[in-house]
Structure 1
Amino acid sequence: MIKKIEVSDLRVGMYIHDLNRAWVEHPFLRNRFLLQSERDIERILELELHEVYIDTELGRDAPAARPNDEVERILHDRLHDLGRTLKRMAPQISMQEEIRQARHVVKEAHVMVHDILQDCRLGKQVELEKTRPIVTSITESIFRNPDAIVSLLRLKQADQYTYQHSVAVGTLLISFCRALGIARGEIELAGIGGLLHDIGKMKVPADILNKPGKLTDSEFGVMKTHVEQGRLLLQDTRGISPISINIAAEHHEHYDGSGYPRGLKGDQISQYGQMAAIVDFYDALTSQRIYHPSTEPTAVLKQLLEGGDKHFAMPLVHSFIRTVGIYPVGTLVKLENDDLAVVVEQHHEDLLHPKVKSIFNCRLHSFIRPKDYDLSKPGCHQRIVRFETPSRWRIDPAAYL
């Protein structure tokens, strides 16, 4: 049985099922492992976590802890309540009209960020003017239809992760800002901050940054210095905005003060820093990588709700859920009839019933003739049962957008 437990109640012999934190924010190779020594517990306490999940079938029990089924049911109900009440901004054009242009913008953005970060690793000055045309192109795509460009950003190549993650964070921040009604000029400054939020990683030794296995405690400590390194680099960049600097300097701070590097708390963290922390967490967990499977978006949204007012400000979490939707475009879902379907469009007034394209049948274990369903229509008797992991079925959802 999976149970949620206070970290103060951890004991040697318990089996950690989930550290309840993004895998990039802890030094353990996996989120799941047996607590074999007091040092393992000390390392978890050093992360300043509040709660973790244990598997009582693989390790010691904690009789007073809440079963995960109960926690999951509560989070599911909260998320669906939000899905019934939150409304998204209507797109200006359809997914089909925007997706081709969005692919071009993403390709250009990846090249630009790669070049800037590589120049930084070589000790060159950040050329801020290179970012502005790309940020403008991303912003225009977001304003036309935010789901098109965001849907293209989940798959990351292991050797390109830092660059591709940077583009995704910048793009999601732009979409987040638009959903909050922030002025266009500030939206683009936030986009620049998102694209450059991990620039400090270029000062982390390559053998640590690209290490495929478990980081040691000392290596993890070095990795965490990227935030301060990024702040210093951007402060020395001519024409940089305080908004952009705050995003790089604060994207690992937590609302309850448990983050790093400065342990800022509440409103000590700028609004853009708080937004960047949410976006960075979401993209890191939902990204598919060769050696790290993605977590499906709805599960990550539940984790954001769970971390609200601890790691994240709850009003901003709600606004972010409104930004990306309950069933983001490009995700794979299972329907009641055992078909797998790709979410191809979200309704701005009904976040629980998107448009989907059925492409594969689980019973037959074979691809089928694609069929479109609008789950919001009264005559449609299909509903979403759960998310599915595309890699499990060897399906590329982007091919069906």
Structure 2
Amino acid sequence: MLKRISVEQLTLGMYLKEFCGSWMEHPFWRSSFVITDPQDIASIRASSIREVWIDCAKGLDLAPGESVVSVAESEAQVDEELASAAEAVQQIQRVPTTVEFDRAAKIIAKSKQAVTLMFEEARMGKAVDADGARRLVAEISDSVSRNAGALISLARLKTADDYTYMHSVAVGALMIALARQLGLDEQQTRSAGIAGLLHDLGKAAMPIDVLNKPGKLTDAEFATIKTHPAEGHRMLLQGSGSDEMALDVVLHHHEKTDGSGYPKGLLDREISLFAKMGAVCDVYDAITSNRPYKAGWDPAESLRKMAEWSKGHFDPVVFQAFVKSIGIYPIGSLVLLSCGRLGVVTEQSEKSLLSPQVKVFFSTRSKTRLLPEIVDLARTGCREKIVSREDPAKWNFADLNEIWSGQPTSNR
């Protein structure tokens, strides 16, 4: 039997089934476990969570005579009640990127913590908690609904040291945005997010020195890394409630439409839509991120490179939808305007992919910094337009990411 109780009634030995509240409100990445540490109870009580569900069949029950908030006979009843409560308090509305940045930064920080723990548990041979992944993806999905560019662009600002974990978060968000662009339903969209989050799970089984090697891999090392899709697939199968789309994407996100990918060398028609989505999202985040052996490319330049590779590598329909989902000039792209000013893209336009909002801050004519100013290229009467994408390395603006994100580089 499942009982909804106050957090003040929690005791050691109880099986905590579910928190009554947002995933962001409690200090754990998973929600189903036996409470064995007094500190866990203290952490729960110190959070904003006031009630939880316990499973009396898997842990200790309340003492006789203690009151309960409610009782459920099945997990389905609990899920239904929590879904109803979430729907009642949350109406997702689109907000500007600048408004979503702070919340997105918090989601990213908690997501990184969750994915890090997930990989560590997988490395120790523990089964993957699919339910925990679903809750994480729900928060990411809601952020993408409010503003697709905020979390996606911030997730790109990972360091080489936390690449493996933050890459998973970024690909999860990119998959959600792409799924919506392709018109997939909400269940498929959430599954796409889970698939993106777990796509590199197999890297938990890779030797750390090979995974983080700063130089080029030897043939033997690359052969080892190429086993990570199969390893990740095996790990997912060991857990309960594995998502079918996640299993597919984990195994096949390195396949290419011309058959030159791995691990199976599948041809275009043999690769699922979801694995094709995973391939595009995986590559985009990889090439825009700082790695141990190279600095990340500018977002707009990365799309140009991917367009060159698209024949034989990516499905053209999926790639075109991906570009529409993040913009021809994604947030963070350095661009030159027709007036001779440099700016960085801060917001996509609903009117045209070629007319985003740009924060201008530098004059190429006078070679001087300007007071930052937002220019909406889609605004009626605006005569400015983008004439070229620019290479950030050429201009060497140390604070470029801070200019568009408002987030101190030291915090990323």
- TM range, smaller chain: 0.7 to 0.9
Alignment correspondent of 2:283 = 281
Sort the Cα spacing of 1:212 and 1:383 in 2 relative to 1 into closer, same or farther, 3 A. Answer: same
Alignment correspondent of 1:200 = 202
Distance in structure 2 (CA, Å) of the matches to 1:291 and 1:253: 23
Do residues 332 (structure 1) and 329 (structure 2) align? no
Alignment correspondent of 1:361 = 363
Residue 191 of structure 1 deviates from its aligned partner by: 0.9
Judge conservation of contact 2:300–2:333 (CA < 8 Å) in 1. no
Alignment correspondent of 1:394 = 398
Q: For each residue in 1:17-73, what CA deviation from the matched residue of structure 2 results, as whole angstroms up to 9, or x when unmatched?
A: xxxxxxxxxxxxxxxxxxxxxxxxxxxxxxxxxxxxxxxxxxxxxxxxxxxxxxxxx
| Match runs of 1:1-400 below 5 Å | 92-289=94-291, 291-390=293-392, 392-400=396-404
Residue 234 of structure 1 deviates from its aligned partner by: 1.0
Judge conservation of contact 2:195–2:245 (CA < 8 Å) in 1. yes
| SS of equivalent to 1:371 | strand
Residue 363 of structure 1 deviates from its aligned partner by: 4.7
Residue 254 of structure 1 deviates from its aligned partner by: 0.5
TM-score (norm 1): 0.73
Which shifted more, 96-105 or 155-164? 96-105
Judge conservation of contact 2:213–2:292 (CA < 8 Å) in 1. no
Residue 229 of structure 1 deviates from its aligned partner by: 0.8
| SS of equivalent to 2:180 | helix
Distance in structure 2 (CA, Å) of the matches to 1:335 and 1:289: 30
Residue 215 of structure 1 deviates from its aligned partner by: 1.1
Distance in structure 1 (CA, Å) of the matches to 2:385 and 2:190: 38
Which shifted more, 165-174 or 355-364? 355-364
Residue 171 of structure 1 deviates from its aligned partner by: 0.7
* Identity among equivalent pairs (%): 39
Residue 277 of structure 1 deviates from its aligned partner by: 0.4
Distance in structure 1 (CA, Å) of the matches to 2:116 and 2:294: 22
Distance in structure 2 (CA, Å) of the matches to 1:178 and 1:94: 18
Residue 312 of structure 1 deviates from its aligned partner by: 1.3
Which shifted more, 157-166 or 92-101? 92-101
Amino acid aligned to 1:305: A
> How big is the alpha-carbon RMSD for the aligned residues of Structure 1 and Structure 2?
1.8
Judge conservation of contact 1:250–1:269 (CA < 8 Å) in 2. yes
Amino acid aligned to 2:371: R
Judge conservation of contact 1:331–1:397 (CA < 8 Å) in 2. no
Distance in structure 2 (CA, Å) of the matches to 1:291 and 1:141: 31
Judge conservation of contact 1:170–1:191 (CA < 8 Å) in 2. yes
Distance in structure 2 (CA, Å) of the matches to 1:290 and 1:266: 32
Distance in structure 2 (CA, Å) of the matches to 1:260 and 1:290: 23
Residue 396 of structure 1 deviates from its aligned partner by: 3.1
Residue 365 of structure 1 deviates from its aligned partner by: 4.4
Sort the Cα spacing of 1:339 and 1:289 in 2 relative to 1 into closer, same or farther, 3 A. Answer: farther
Q: Which has the higher contact order (CA 8 A, sep 6+)?
A: 1
Residue 239 of structure 1 deviates from its aligned partner by: 0.3
Which shifted more, 165-174 or 279-288? 279-288
Distance in structure 1 (CA, Å) of the matches to 2:311 and 2:210: 32
| SS of equivalent to 1:292 | coil
Q: For each residue in 1:129-185, what CA deviation from the matched residue of structure 2 results, as whole angstroms up to 9, or x when unmatched?
A: 221221001111111211111111212211111101111111100110111121111
Residue 290 of structure 1 deviates from its aligned partner by: 6.1
Amino acid aligned to 2:236: L
Judge conservation of contact 2:299–2:332 (CA < 8 Å) in 1. no
Judge conservation of contact 1:253–1:261 (CA < 8 Å) in 2. yes
Which shifted more, 366-375 or 144-153? 366-375
Amino acid aligned to 2:260: S
Residue 386 of structure 1 deviates from its aligned partner by: 2.5
Amino acid aligned to 1:396: L
Judge conservation of contact 1:340–1:362 (CA < 8 Å) in 2. yes
Judge conservation of contact 1:332–1:397 (CA < 8 Å) in 2. no
Residue 274 of structure 1 deviates from its aligned partner by: 0.7
Amino acid aligned to 1:215: L
Judge conservation of contact 1:99–1:148 (CA < 8 Å) in 2. yes
Residue 281 of structure 1 deviates from its aligned partner by: 1.1
Distance in structure 1 (CA, Å) of the matches to 2:304 and 2:227: 29
Judge conservation of contact 2:137–2:190 (CA < 8 Å) in 1. yes
Amino acid aligned to 1:312: F
Sort the Cα spacing of 1:142 and 1:99 in 2 relative to 1 into closer, same or farther, 3 A. Answer: same
Q: Which runs of 5+ in 1 are unaligned?
A: 1-90
TM-score (norm 2): 0.72
Judge conservation of contact 2:214–2:292 (CA < 8 Å) in 1. no
In our comparison, the structure showing a higher alpha carbon Rg is 2
Q: Which runs of 5+ in 2 are unaligned?
A: 1-92, 406-412
- The number of residue pairs the alignment matches comes to 311
Amino acid aligned to 2:174: L
Amino acid aligned to 2:120: Q
Distance in structure 1 (CA, Å) of the matches to 2:404 and 2:306: 28
Distance in structure 2 (CA, Å) of the matches to 1:95 and 1:378: 21
